[in-house]
Structure 1
Amino acid sequence: MSLTAPDETLTTAWETAVDDAPVALSARGELVAVAGAEGTVTVLDAARGTKIGAWELPGGALSVALAPNARALVATGPMGYALWRPEDGRTTVRETGRWSSAAAWADNDRVAVASGRRALVLGPDGKELWATAPAASTVTDLAWQRQGRRLAVAAYGAVRCHERHTTKPVVTYPYVGSHLALAIAPTGRWICSGNQDASIHIWRTRDGSELTMSGYPEKVSRLAFDDTGFWLAADGAPDVTVWDFSGKGPAGTAPRSLRCHETVTALAWRPGPAGHLASGGHDGTVALWRATSGRPQARLHPARTWDGDSAVAALAWAGPDLLVTAYRDGHVRAHRPPSRNAL
């Protein structure tokens, strides 16, 4: 590994390898979960990187999500989904035969899972609590609003919002196109979709007004709000774009541009309000950014970078002081970056 800023030490907390090509990461509490393309889900101790358990999701994996208290885990894939509980190692597999691309926890007791054209809301034991009515096409992403009281579901043509136990949507945000990623500001003010047509579409929840940021050279498949809800990071180009959602929002403004990778493969905001973003690329580079510094249209340079041995598959912060990186060759590394004040 090589640092571009040798005056600051980047500590490698641990390194391990998993027996699959990683596609997704989740970190909560004392656990890190790594989902592999062939369906192997490996659970690691966040402090030491030691293996706690592993199990298989038939048909392969696409995403993984630990509950906020890390007492349950959901993995999704092309053929269904599965739940795992670390306290007893019990795995509940649902081979539905339906594409399941995403899962999102509302709290410790409810998780939403994309399952074909519906979203299912499950308890931590895997029992179905309720389900949405079928959308026009396969659900591609979902997210919770209002502290878990409303579920937003993205499928071709619209983002539909459901209150608890309401199968039919209570609010529909139409958009003619295929949504690839969904991000909701922690403030609840904004719903954003990254789209196949190389755009970001935005709805203001207060009045349903809309805005489209188009002109990206590639499809936008990764979106992430920071903890303040004022900053949105997106891929869709060699540059990571960071949009300012404070005040009246991004209408009429330009983003900050973060260029380090030829192809962006992962984005993850450091927990807290400091505006630090980690990004990963197909070339194996991981970059740390002071992503909210400068002015609109500014081209920012990484505060720190380091190189891996293969493409970055996923990034996840295990708290503000530990960044976990999964590489396509199966290596998983945890680093302790400089403090938020020192970066």
Structure 2
Amino acid sequence: MTTAADISVRWTTAVDDAPVAVATAPAGGLVAIAGAAGTAWILETATGTPVGTVSLPGGLLALEFSPEGAHLAFTGPTGHGLWRRCDGRTLTFATGAWSNAVRWTSPERVAVASGRRALVLDPDGTEQWATDPAPSTVTDLAWLRGGRRLVSSAYGGVRCHERHTDKPVTEYKYLGSHLAIALNPNGRWICTGNQDASIHIWHTRDGDDLTMHGYPDKIARLAFDDTGRWLASDGAPDITVWDFSGKGPAGTKPRTLRAHETVTALAWRPGGGAVLASAGAEGTLALWRADSGRPGALVRPAHARELPEPVTALAWAGPDLLVFADYEGQVEAWQVPAALAR
């Protein structure tokens, strides 16, 4: 097992709010911490030095940097906004629509959820196109085919839109409320985490689907690693990791990662290696070699640490730096060794 001595603290700081999201821009050397009340703090990744703040009236829910780190898009219960690094310009759009998702696909194009629609904007906030209304509030977004296709989740399944098409060009249906989307990097699989405590999976080429039932709680966090082989999900109290190699997970069992009472955050380390970071409501932060053991096996963390407060958000800033924030606003960056014990 990796010991406490193997992990060093690069820096610590604090923000004056309860963090709800962390975003990193490895190419731009920035990290942003979103506070529930509506302020986001932008810091230098290497040192934690403040760069600036942005605010969105009504609160914040999500934020993401553009691929090159020149822009930050942020969303909340009453609208969305954009920040530009070169001069600190901030644009906010009070749409009155709940917005819980933001996804960049290039430096010139970002999608935000806006009530029952998804809006595609340029970095100046100009609307390039918008989807027609979904059956319910859009809960998550993703891009397929190198940014040529936008995928959105809402009640009843996921809908796919080509550029400048308001009507969906493809729909993958499953009755229920879909809370999160995960796409593997080659676009072969679309997965959703659902209110009915299930994961639903579609094969994009032929629409074949299957459902993983039996979770104790709803699935609100769902993520593929960079290789597209491993899918991690919450569902309280354990994390499950499904193997999508070969023909996919049909007829297989997942690995079970046990360290938390309720999962509050999870994120794969970039660059492969099947290393997953997770946090729980009881105050534990854990690092896993998620490919350890056999399918159906219970996996123990390669490293786990009890913290004074529950971690509410975390993100990797490259493969060696993990940034996380706790309920009281403490923010910390860990230097993580390249190798973790199996």
The alignment's TM-score, normalised by the length of structure 1, stands at 0.97
- Partner residue in 1 for 2:140: 141
Pairwise CA distance, 1:149:
1.0
Structure 1 SS opposite 2:6:
coil
Pairwise CA distance, 1:109:
1.0
- Partner residue in 2 for 1:291: 290
Q: Distance in 1 between matches of 2:119 and 2:4?
A: 50
In the alignment, is residue 239 of structure 1 matched against residue 238 of structure 2?
A: yes
Structure 1 gaps of 5+ residues are: none
Structure 2 SS opposite 1:106:
strand
Pairwise CA distance, 1:54:
0.7
In the alignment, is residue 11 of structure 1 matched against residue 11 of structure 2?
A: no
CA contact (8 A) 1:184 1:190 kept: yes
In the alignment, is residue 20 of structure 1 matched against residue 56 of structure 2?
A: no
- Partner residue in 2 for 1:184: 183
Q: Distance in 2 between matches of 1:66 and 1:48?
A: 18
Superposition CA RMSD, Å: 1.2
Pairwise CA distance, 1:340:
3.0
1:235-274 correspondence runs (5 A): 235-274=234-273
Pairwise CA distance, 1:9:
2.2
Query: What amino acid maps onto 2:222 in structure 1?
Result: L
- Partner residue in 2 for 1:330: 329
Q: Distance in 2 between matches of 1:341 and 1:202?
A: 30
Q: Distance in 2 between matches of 1:300 and 1:105?
A: 34
Query: What amino acid maps onto 1:18 in structure 2?
Result: V
Structure 2 gaps of 5+ residues are: none
CA contact (8 A) 2:253 2:296 kept: yes
Structure 1 residues 71 and 158: alpha-carbon distance in aligned structure 2, compared to 1, 3 A threshold: same
Q: Distance in 1 between matches of 2:282 and 2:15?
A: 20
In the alignment, is residue 57 of structure 1 matched against residue 53 of structure 2?
A: no
Report how many residues are paired: 340
Q: Distance in 2 between matches of 1:35 and 1:124?
A: 19
Moved over 4 A (4+): none
Q: Distance in 1 between matches of 2:67 and 2:161?
A: 22
The alignment's TM-score, normalised by the length of structure 2, stands at 0.97
CA contact (8 A) 2:289 2:340 kept: no
Structure 1 SS opposite 2:106:
coil
- Partner residue in 2 for 1:310: 309
Query: What amino acid maps onto 1:82 in structure 2?
Result: G
Structure 1 residues 22 and 7: alpha-carbon distance in aligned structure 2, compared to 1, 3 A threshold: closer
Structure 1 residues 163 and 326: alpha-carbon distance in aligned structure 2, compared to 1, 3 A threshold: same
Pairwise CA distance, 1:6:
3.6
- Partner residue in 2 for 1:87: 86
Q: Distance in 1 between matches of 2:309 and 2:38?
A: 20
Query: What amino acid maps onto 2:11 in structure 1?
Result: W
Q: Distance in 2 between matches of 1:157 and 1:271?
A: 32
Pairwise CA distance, 1:268:
0.3
**CA distances 1:320-339 after superposition (whole Å, capped 9, x unpaired):** 00000111100010001121
